[in-house]
Amino acid sequence: MTQSTANPETKPTPATSPMPVPRVEREPRYTARQIDEHTWELGVALPGVKREDVTVSLEDNDLEIVAQRHSSVPESW
- Structural element, H or E, at residue 63: strand 62-67
Tens digits of residue pLDDT in 14-55:
566 666 667 777 788 999 999 999 999 999 999 889 999 999
Quote the pLDDT of residue 24. Answer: 74
- Regarding pTM above 0.75, the answer is no
Of the listed ranges 7-11, 14-18, 43-47, 57-61, the least confidently predicted one is 7-11
Quote the pLDDT of residue 1. Answer: 45
The predicted model gives 52-76 an average pLDDT of 87
